[in-house]
Structure 1
Amino acid sequence: MATNLAIDPELLEHAFRVSGERTKKATVTVALQEFIARREQAAILDLFGTLDWDEGFDYKAERAR
């Protein structure tokens, strides 16, 4: 899918240098992948502390079944 974007040239050039990628397309692709991964990780962090733990659960006894 071809898409034309107006990206800040200084920002793109900085990302290009930092990423070490050989093309602008690869740089933008890596940046989008990292953006998505960080957002998904943040969503997972929101789940911490939301589970109810059964303090009486004996995982060793469950293994012996």
Structure 2
Amino acid sequence: MTKSIELDENLVEEALALGQHSSINLLVETALKDYINKYKREKIIELFGTIEYQENYDYKKQRNRQ
């Protein structure tokens, strides 16, 4: 997919230097992946404390089941 966008030249130069990316396309793709992963992690963190579990659940016993 081809899209035309305007980017801050200073940000692009700094990101290219830091990430050692060979092209702006690779830089933008990596940045988008990082952005998506960040928000996925935040969604997972929001689940902490919301899942109920059984007090008598024996996870060690479940490990040995085959």
TM bracket, shorter-chain basis: 0.7 to 0.9
Q: Which residue of 2 aligns with 1:26?
A: 26
Aligned pairs for 1:2-17 within 5 A: 2-17=2-17
TM-score w.r.t. structure 2 length?
Answer: 0.83
Give RMSD over aligned pairs.
2.0
TM-score w.r.t. structure 1 length?
Answer: 0.84
Paired positions, count: 65
**Amino acid in structure 2 at the alignment position of 1:18:** L
Q: CA deviation at 1:58?
A: 2.8
CA distance in 2 between partners of 1:11 and 1:48 (Å): 35
Q: Which residue of 2 aligns with 1:48?
A: 48
Paired residue secondary structure (1:46): helix
CA distance in 2 between partners of 1:32 and 1:15 (Å): 13
Structure 1 gaps of 5+ residues are none
How high is the sequence identity, in percent, across the aligned residues? 28
